[in-house]
Amino acid sequence: MKQNKFVCILALVSLLCITGFESPPKIIVSKMEIKVLEIASALRYDFILKNEGGLFPDQKDLSHHQTLGNDLSHGFLVIPNGKLASLMELVPNAKFTIMRPHGGGSSGSLKNEGEIKIHLEYAIKKGADLKAVKEYASDSHLYIFDGSQEIAKISLNKVMNKS
């Protein structure tokens, strides 16, 4: 009986050593600004994001090599909740409620830098109440992807309430 417990513990320790102790990246929004661009009829989010630790999935195996293809500018997505979604142009036939992109960009990569700035713009429906768009804009989540893998889901209401 003692030998079986020892074998189980040894197997568990071996598994932990093989898979490693790396944790996924911990990404936080250190600053957020939301604007309604009346002339462009767009909702703009400006974020400063910080990676406070952890590794991106492909860095676990390539930590001693230069990581290629690490531009995450297409890996950021704001998903609206119901009230905001009703005021925004949406991507048709999408699996999820996705606002139609109007532009965006980033100052770098979270994989290589501790802090980056990003901005995302989404098209507002014609005739929508712009004050309501501004009011409901934080009723959303910021998703961060590395390829198809979700790295973070951040409630913008929680970010707004911390400010």
Q: pLDDT tens for residues 96-113?
A: 899 999 988 888 777 666
Residues ≥6 apart with Cβ < 8 Å to 111: 51, 56, 59, 67, 70, 72, 146
Torsion of CA 19, 150, 23, 68, to 10 degrees: 80
- Cβ pair 85, 124 in contact under 8 A: no
Has this prediction a pTM greater than 0.95? no
Q: Please give the C-alpha separations between residue 17 and each of 12, 13, 21, 58, in angstroms, as whole numbers.
A: 9, 6, 8, 18
pLDDT given at position 25: 60
- Cβ pair 119, 105 in contact under 8 A: yes
Q: In 20-111, which residue ranges form alpha helices assigned H by DSSP?
A: 59-62, 82-85
Section 37-64 average pLDDT: 72
Residue range 132-162, pLDDT digits in tens:
999 999 999 999 887 777 888 999 998 877 7
Residues ≥6 apart with Cβ < 8 Å to 146: 56, 57, 58, 72, 75, 111
pLDDT given at position 75: 81
